[in-house]
Amino acid sequence: MKTSEMYTKLKNPRRYKFEKVKCYQCGSNKSSHFLIGEEDLTAKEGQFNYVQCDQCELVYQNPRIHIDQIKEFYDNEYIAHRKKKDWGFLTPLYNRAMSKHDREKEKIIKKYVNLNSKSKVLDVGCAVGTFLLHLKKIYKCKISGVDFKGDLSFPGFKKIDFHCGLFYEQKLPKKSFDLITMWHFLEHCYNPPKTLKKALELVKDDGRVIIEVPRLDSFTFKVFKEKWP
């Protein structure tokens, strides 16, 4: 089934504006239907079409919601932004799980970077910045963050040199960061090639850019498929 034919069958509220895009990786506009997903995490209404590029096999959403409307999907229910503080009797488990995420990220970066008090770290898609605050507590490093949501808050957030807006539009000093991280950010990005080019401009020649994205060859995807959170 062609992408255009599949799109006409999707159930999306009329208020959403959609735009068709080419493959982010190779620029091809030829793709095949991959799956239809729903926003199960925040219960937003709608179905969203994912395609696989016929040329390079990258999977991406097409058509996608216009960037002017995407912010409403990152509301108080969006876990990474931690705007919702009370999860009832699950609150202690939730806090422990989120803290564990930051510790696991630190284990990854320790394989590639030795941080100290002189190190400069930039986290792209930093949300409320708990990962950055975790690093500052341990290594006393200088921390910066970028997120397109500006109404973020968390204990200690003011310690972060925070920049609001799209990452590739930020005016940050070139070759100034020892480490740039993107933890499940790139799959949300509206222009991945531009973002990667920006990261290359900002990281020091001996620095590192560490990126984590979903893997479609993972066990959890094979189990959950279109219901994969």
Confidence at residue 95, expressed as pLDDT on a 0 to 100 scale: 66
Residue 13, preceding peptide bond in cis (omega within 30° of 0) = no
Confidence at residue 86, expressed as pLDDT on a 0 to 100 scale: 59
Confidence at residue 90, expressed as pLDDT on a 0 to 100 scale: 62
Please state, in angstroms and rounded to a whole number, the distance separating the CA atoms of residues 44 and 167.
25
- Please check whether residue 204 is in contact with residue 177, taking contact to mean a CB–CB distance below 8 angstroms: yes
- Please check whether residue 122 is in contact with residue 162, taking contact to mean a CB–CB distance below 8 angstroms: no
Kindly state the DSSP code that residue 30 receives in the 8-state scheme: -
pLDDT < 70: residue spans in the chain? 1-9, 39-44, 75-91, 93-96
Residue with tokens 């972060």: 160
Confidence at residue 80, expressed as pLDDT on a 0 to 100 scale: 58
Kindly state the DSSP code that residue 169 receives in the 8-state scheme: G
- Please check whether residue 160 is in contact with residue 143, taking contact to mean a CB–CB distance below 8 angstroms: yes
Confidence at residue 70, expressed as pLDDT on a 0 to 100 scale: 84
Confidence at residue 14, expressed as pLDDT on a 0 to 100 scale: 73
Q: How far is CA 195 from the centre of its chain?
A: 12
- Please check whether residue 229 is in contact with residue 40, taking contact to mean a CB–CB distance below 8 angstroms: yes
Which SS3 state, helix, strand or coil, does residue 35 take? strand
pTM: 0.86
CATH 3.40.50.150 residue window(s) in the chain = 113-212
Q: CA triplet 25, 30, 31: central angle to 5 degrees?
A: 80
Token pair for 130: 């708990």
Confidence at residue 166, expressed as pLDDT on a 0 to 100 scale: 95
CATH class of this structure's domain 113-212: alpha beta
Largest CA distance in the chain: 55
Sheet hosting strand 31-38, strand order edge to edge = 31-38, 47-53, 59-61
Phi and psi (nearest 5°) for 215?
Answer: -110, 120
